[in-house]
Amino acid sequence: MILTKLPVGQDARVTAINGQNSVTRRLMEMGVIPGVSVQMVKTAPFGDPIEIRVRGYSLAMRKNEADSIEVSF
Amino acid sequence: MDDISHNSQLTIALAGNPNAGKTTLFNSLTGLKQKVANYPGVTVERKEGPWKVGGQSVNLIDLPGLYSLDATSLDEQIASDIIRGVQADVLRPDVIIAVVDATNLERNLYLVTQILEFGVPVVIALTMIDVFEKQKHEIDIEMLSVLLKTPIVAVNAKSGRGIDELAEKAAEMIGAVPTVPAIFNEVANDDDSNSKIFARYNFISNAVQESVWHSDQTNHRVSEKIDRVLTHRVFGLVILVAILLVVFQTIFSWSSLPMDLLEQGFGSLKDGVRSQMPPGILTDLIADGIIAGVGGVLVFLPQILLLFLFISLLEDSGYMARAAFLLDKLMSRVGLHGKAFLPLFSSFACAIPGIMATRTIENRRDRFATIMIAPFMSCSARLPVYTLMIAAFFAGQTFLGFISVGAVLMLAMYALGIFVAVIAAWILKRTILKAPPPPFLMELPPYRVPNIRTVLQNMLTRAWLFLKRAGTVILAISIILWALMYFPRTQTTPAATVEVTASSTENILAEPLPEGEQLRNSYAGKLGHAIEPVISPLGFDWKIGVALIASFAAREVLVSTLSIIYNVGSDENEESETLIAAVRDAKDDDGKQVWTPLTALTLMVFFVLAMQCMSTLAVVRRETNSWRWPIFMMVYMTALAYFAAFLTYQGGKLLGFQ
């Protein structure tokens, strides 16, 4: 499933990063690569962006940027 | 001597992720001897200073924070170029100190692996180790050092832990030929860049697994708790607004005393010059041109210092990233990044620090769009103008008996600026600065108690930049404007010039009539007459025209110029009864009332939108590295201001107002 569909507080494992562009590349450099575990932390007041935890730190991104992240739990 | 030591001087660079504690470490290594400049041709800050390593002084460079050598922003590009040794103007570093945050080890080490691949000598400075240990995690530094084949020193800038050892290790690494960990060579020739990223992280995960014991995943519990309130759906926004209000209130209330003192100081300096120097053109130039002009800008220094104090505090504590997180959705509707919020907010105090603060926006087009709308935020220099107009024409009036018309108008002026800025941003981002919305992808660093030294140093650096940049331009413009108002000289009676003594000079010069008369016949006065046909549809006469021309140096100059024009003495301020009365009673050449409430409102609208600040234009020139943008800014903002003022005045007349 897609990361943005994760309920708040849910842990999951990244299975794939779809697409190949500057955003997906930066995502991977920030440590979001297949196999890593992530947690959906929260959504901003206006519904976007979202905050996730990965490798022990907090990363915020817009939903359309998170759409490339495939997870399973 | 100096040259020789410079040529043979070694260069050491501090590299690391943003928020890794790089700047704090840099400050503690170099002390107060650091220099801040720009890299040639760009606006990325270049910070360097001397550092004693193994008995010699090396040049330590603080690189901009970066996540990866594959740059996505200008800051990252420069840092990356220096590490690779391809940045013009900077020698290839002999050693790189990689600053690594122990509480965020894996992602911080990613950059380190990239740097190691280059084969440059690296020493890792492990920061936040105290926080890490307090959270009951353990790290086997020796083991990690062996795995990375790189010396690691745990440091704490505050307690001084590891600082000497870091210098020793750095000295040892000078000239060393580092061994690149085998894993990187295997992927070095692989052109699929994703697999390189995977390989680096695999290597890191293994190394961390062997050397670090986590007690539990409680790393960020405190930050999470704080965040539950500060980024709460409802409270988050309420708190954000409250913080902004408090910051504003504090800036204005704390700065009023030093500003008054500065103003008085420049006043006495001016008087001093007048009494000590023989009367004449040189004295006039120094007193009215240089001291008055430059003093008018320096008066804003307390506000700028305070604004940067708060910005640094908010940034250093980690809150600024949350503000961007909260507001990104709103900002992105007009095509801007959440990070644009901070520069725009700062611009309410003064557009200059605001525009300087756009450096945190990575995408060039977003950054320029933010710069182009920043001056629409009503800055503190507009306040004297609003205050004068409201005091003269709307004082004491109320709606429904209790809402002050003045307060509503004041608020309306701020709202008008924001409204126009939003529309301008929307249009700019769809036309000349067209670009897909920039990625938001941003780290939310853990909350930390701000480091006072970093905050103060940041504040002083910014203030110095403000003084240097605005000071030079304002000086030149002040002299030009002074000359426009000073020449050609209107003949004064010979008796007056002959008989002056040092003590009586002031009295004669304070005679209101010659001063107003002089202005009327000066080049500025003639310019005022020349633009009268253009501004008369706005309800302005030539005298207001002169004041408008003068206010293009700085907005608040309008008040002092009006004082001169209406012969009430140039030391009047916006709350002075005489000036208010003079404005109210002013008649034009046909004896008709010049000012009406409608004229006052029109002037206020004009001031909300017009680009009347040479210092801002000078800073835009520096920040965009081109004359095109400041010229464009000047033209489009002033055209908009004219149009809006025209609508206000003509519309008001149609509605039956005077």
pLDDT tens digits, residue range B543-601? 889 889 888 877 877 877 777 777 665 556 666 667 788 888 887 767 778 899 999 99
> Between these two residues, B42 and A43, which has the higher pLDDT value?
A43
Q: At B330, is the pLDDT very low, low, confident or very high (cuts 50, 70, 90)?
A: confident
Q: DSSP E strands: which ranges in chain A?
A: 11-17, 37-43, 50-54, 57-61, 69-72
B93 or B195, higher pLDDT: B93
For residue B148, which of B121, B168, B172 has the smallest C-alpha distance? Answer: B121
pLDDT band at B191 (very low <50, low <70, confident <90, very high): low
For residue A63, give the amino acid letter.
Answer: K
Crossing angle between the packed helical segments B383-393 and B577-585, to the nearest 10 degrees? 70
CB contact under 8 A, B197 and A28: yes
CB contact under 8 A, A29 and B104: no
C-beta separation of B105 from B154 below 8 A: no
Q: Under an 8 A CB cutoff, do A53 and B220 touch?
A: yes
User: Would you call A33 an interface residue with chain B, using a CB distance cutoff of 8 Å?
Assistant: yes
Size of interface A-B (CB pairs under 8 A): 112
With bands split at pLDDT 50, 70 and 90, how would you rate the model's confidence at B457? confident
Range of A61-70, B490-499, B582-591 with top mean pLDDT: A61-70
* Mean per-residue pLDDT, B479-503: 63
Q: What single letter denotes the amino acid at residue B88?
A: A
Tell whether B583 lies on the interface with A, counting CB pairs under 8 A. Answer: no
pLDDT at B1 over 60: no
Q: Which amino acid is at B244?
A: L
Q: According to the 3-state scheme, what is the secondary structure of B381-404?
A: HHHHHHHHHHHHHCCCCEECCCEE
Residue B72: what pLDDT? 77
CA distance to B107, B239, B328, B436, per residue, from B325 (Å): 21, 14, 6, 19
**Which of A43, A62, A65 is the best residue to mutate to test the B interface, defined by the most B CB atoms within 10 Å of its own CB?**
A62
From B94's Cα to the closest Cα of chain A, the distance in A is 26
What was the pLDDT predicted at B505? 43
The answer to whether the CB of B112 falls within 8 A of the CB of B121 is no
pLDDT of amino acid B514: 55
| Average pLDDT, integer, range B402-425 | 88
d(CA B273, CA B268): 8
Counting Cβ atoms within 10 Å, is residue B268 exposed (0-12), middle (13-18) or buried (19+)?
A: exposed
For B123, list phi and psi in degrees, rounded to 5.
Answer: -120, 130
Per-residue model confidence (pLDDT) at position B89: 79
- Which pLDDT does position B183 carry in this prediction? 60
Judge whether B48 and B97 are in contact, CB under 8 Å: no
Give the C-alpha distances (Å, rounded to integers) separating B471 from B304, B311, B476, B477: 14, 22, 9, 10
Q: Give the one of A26, A31, A48 whose C-beta lies nearest to B106's C-beta.
A: A31
Is some CB atom of chain B closer than 8 A to the CB atom of A55?
A: yes
ipTM: 0.95
Q: Strand B11-16 to strand B95-101: parallel, antiparallel, or no bridges (unpaired)?
A: parallel
pLDDT tens digits, B227-262? 888 988 889 889 988 887 788 778 777 877 888 898
What integer pLDDT is reported at residue B491 of this predicted model? Answer: 63
Nearest CB neighbour to B443, from listed A41, A42, A58: A58
Q: So what's the pLDDT on residue B289?
A: 77
CA nearest A45 in B: which residue?
B233
Q: What are the distances in angstroms from CA B646 to CA B181, B388, B440, B539, B643? A: 70, 21, 40, 9, 5
**B234 three-state secondary structure:** coil
pLDDT band, very low/low/confident/very high, at B5 (cuts 50, 70, 90): very low
pLDDT at residue B98, as a whole number = 96
Q: Give the CB-side neighbour count of residue B499, counting CA atoms within 13 A.
A: 9
Tell me the residue length of chain B: 658
Residue B331 confidence class, pLDDT cut points 50, 70, 90: confident
Cis peptide before B450 (omega within 30 of 0): no
What's the token pair of residue B563? 């004082």
Q: At B92, which amino acid appears?
A: R
User: Structure tokens of B206?
Assistant: 């293994």
The verdict on a CB contact (< 8 Å) between B220 and A51 is no
* Res. B497: pLDDT tops 60: no
State residue B511's pLDDT score: 42
CB atoms B332 and A59 under 8 Å: no
Q: Which residues from chain B sit within 8 angstroms of residue A55, using beta carbons?
A: 104, 106-107
Q: For residue B570, what pLDDT is reported? A: 56
Residue B4 confidence (pLDDT): 39
Q: Is B448 on the interface with A (CB under 8 A)?
A: no
Tokens representing residue B292 in the block? 């008055």
Interfacial B residues in 386-445 facing A (CB < 8 Å): 439-445
User: Is 60 exceeded by the pLDDT of residue B644?
Assistant: yes
Between residues B112 and B381, the one the model is more confident about: B112
CB atoms inside a 10 Å sphere around CB B86: 10
Pairwise CA distance, residues B50 & B67, whole Å: 26
Q: Which residues of B touch A57 (CB under 8 A)?
A: 104, 107, 220, 443, 445-446
Determine the pLDDT at residue B368.
93
Q: What secondary structure does DSSP assign to B77-121, as a single string?
A: HHHHHHHHT--TTSPPPSEEEEEEEGGGHHHHHHHHHHHHHTT--
Identify the weakest region by mean pLDDT among B2-6, B74-78, B365-369: B2-6
Whole-number Å distance between alpha carbons of B24 and B99: 11
What residues of A are in contact with residue B445 (Cβ under 8 Å)? 57-58
Amino acid at B193: S
Mutate to test the interface with A, among B70, B103, B107 (most CBs of A within 10 A): B107
B89 vs B188: which has the higher pLDDT: B89
* Count of CB atoms situated within 10 Å of the CB of B456: 15
Q: Cα–Cα distances in Å, from A9 out to A12, B186, B224, B250, B537?
A: 10, 38, 12, 38, 62
For an interface test with B, which of A25, A26, A58, A65 has the most B Cβ atoms less than 10 Å from its Cβ?
A: A58
Query: Over chain B, what is the mean pLDDT?
Result: 82
* Tens-place pLDDT, residues B370-387: 999 999 998 878 888 888
pLDDT in tens, B198-235: 989 999 999 999 998 876 555 557 888 888 889 888 89
